[in-house]
Amino acid sequence: MEFESENQEKKNFFTLEMGKITRHVEKIAQEDPRRVIHSLKFGFTLTLVSLLYYLKPLYKTFNISAMWVIITVVVVFEFSVGATIGKGLNRGLATLVACALALGALHLASIPGKTVEPILIGIFIFIQAVASTFIRFLPKVKASYDYGMLIFILTFSLVSISGIRTNEIFKLAHMRLLTIFIGASTSMIVSILVCPVWAGEELHKLVAQNIEKLGNFLEAFADEFSNKSSSSAESQNDRSFISCLNSVLDSKNNEETLANFASWEPGHGHFMYRHPWKQYLKIGNLTRQCACRLETLRGYLNSKIEASEEINGIIQSKLSEMSSESGKALKQLARDIETMTRPFSPNPRIENLKIELKNLKSLLKSNANLLQAIPVAGVASLLIDIAICVENIEEAINQLAS
């Protein structure tokens, strides 16, 4: 009996764990169904190139070199078209240059005679490895050609060192080039033709979404600021605010990667080749600057606002209006980007915002005390906020030391 119940328990535990994993996998798939499509695309491409092993005449030509095709597909096939093209071109060109240079180096080494040859080859490999590794630290190379440099080091070393042991070095270099060409071009073609994921489009959407998030935040802030809701709903809102702002603040790296991939992509949809992707990075930076202000603004929701009735009455409602107007303007801008509307005529929302800004300033002028206090009070409240930040940092550091 006991044994049975233990067995039952184990079974239950197993079903529970399996259920958890299934739900997790389902969530990942539902978040972005293109992940499933990408997996199928990759499986298809890999199976396609393994035909080189299946079909006898093909295998006779390539023999063991066929494995380079498999390796190339596994390494080059990426989620977005831009990443696949970037890696494919890097791999192809680096192999071409490295093969040519290695053959040249082998020829050079063979001139002084058979005894010195291996030593010269060793010296060439060392110098090449040191120089190429250092070049990988140059920021421009690191950003776009890091993978190419890696493949250059790899191919140069492989081809030149094989020169010590085999005389069929031309055939080896030729095979490596051919197989990498087949693998890379198959990956690129499947990536472009079957449900392509364009990095440029992703970047476009990401930038628009980030602006929209800030707009939503400002509108929600306007609501909370004018009529403080109950504390429990507040803290929940606060948490969703934090994660929303954080995702915008942390998007820089993602945007830069996407812009880099996008620069490899041919024209697609609304985007021409050489679309000004750098401008998206500029918009992204400005969006993050704005998000920083919102992050500071969020701090005021938690501080009890205890202004005098006079100030409270008119100004608070004006401020919440201003916040909601900014939010609407941002959301309009996000829509403008998404639909790629050319804002030839001035954006009406921005015009509204400018009027609102003027109104606020004139209202503040009528309340001379407040107007004079604004900059100093702003700095004061920020510095109080910063002091609290510093204490939080100290606490976290103390936890590290304990």
CA distances from 278 to 113, 197, 266 (A): 53, 20, 16
CA distance 141 to 147: 9
Under the criterion CB under 8 A, does residue 195 sit at the interface with its own copies? no
Q: How far apart are CB 109 and its own copies at their closest, in Å?
A: 14
Q: Can you tell me which of 101, 161, 192, 206 binds its own copies, judged by CB under 8 A? A: 161
Of the ranges 93-101, 107-115, 189-197, 351-359, which one interacts with its own copies (CB under 8 A)? 351-359
What's the CA gap between 82 and 90, in Å, rounded? 12
**Does 57 engage in binding with its own copies (CB under 8 A)?**
no
Q: Near its own copies by CB under 8 A, which window of 89-97, 101-109, 226-234, 389-397?
A: 389-397
Helix 66-76 with 169-193: angle, nearest 10 deg:
40
Contact residue for its own copies among 38, 87, 91, 268 (CB under 8 A):
38
Q: Which amino acid is at 12?
A: N
Q: How far is the CB of 158 from its own copies (least distance, A)?
A: 6
Instruction: Compare residues 152 and 181 and give the one whose CB is closer to its own copies.
Output: 152
Q: Is 81 in the site for its own copies (CB under 8 A)?
A: no
Task: Give the distance between the most distant pair of CA atoms in the chain.
Answer: 97
**If phi over 0 gives left and psi between -120 and 50 gives alpha, with beta otherwise, what is residue 227?**
beta
In whole angstroms, the minimum distance from the beta carbon of 347 to its own copies comes to 6
248 and 291 Cβ atoms separated by less than 8 Å: yes
CA distance 149 to 142: 9
| Smaller CB separation from its own copies, 8 or 44 | 44
Taking CB under 8 A as the rule, does residue 189 contact its own copies? no
Task: Check residue 252 for interaction with its own copies (CB under 8 A).
Answer: yes
Q: Map the footprint of its own copies across residues 216-245, applying CB under 8 A.
A: 218, 225
| 94-133 footprint of its own copies as x/- string (CB under 8 A) | ------------------------x---x--xxx-xxx-x
CA gap 253, 143 in Å, rounded: 12
Q: How far is the CB of 240 from its own copies (least distance, A)?
A: 17
60 binds its own copies (CB under 8 A): no
In the window 277-316, what residues touch its own copies (CB under 8 A)? 279-280, 282-283, 286-290, 292-297, 299-300, 303, 305-308, 311-312, 315-316
Residue with tokens 């609407």, as numbered in its chain: 328
Using the minimum distance from each CB to its own copies, give the nearer residue, 47 or 235. 47
Q: How far is the CB of 42 from its own copies (least distance, A)?
A: 5
Contact range with its own copies by CB under 8 A, out of 11-19, 90-98, 263-271, 387-395: 387-395
Residue whose C-alpha is closest to residue 146's, from 187, 74, 93, 87: 87
Residue 394 binds its own copies, judged by CB under 8 A: yes
Who contacts 152 (Cβ-Cβ below 8 Å, separation ≥6)? 94, 95, 97, 98, 132
Give strand pairing partners of 235. Answer: none
Q: Residue 221 class from Cβ within 10 Å (0-12 exposed, 13-18 middle, 19+ buried)?
A: buried
Q: What's the rounded Cα separation, in Å, for the pair 360 and 242?
A: 28
Structure tokens at 84: 């696949």
Q: Are the C-beta atoms of 69 and 184 separated by less than 8 Å?
A: no
- Residue among 9 and 67 whose Cβ is closer to its own copies: 67
Rg (Cα) of the chain, in Å, rounded? 30
Residue type, 108: L
Select from 108, 116, 138, 272 the one that contacts its own copies (CB under 8 A).
138
Residue 5 vs 227, nearer CB to its own copies: 227
Cβ closest to its own copies, residue 16 vs residue 357: 357
> Would you say 10 or 293 has its CB closer to its own copies?
293
Looking at residues 352 to 381 of the shown chain, list those that interact with its own copies (rule: CB under 8 A): 353-354, 356-357, 360-361, 364, 369-370, 372-381
CB atoms within 10 A of CB 355: 11
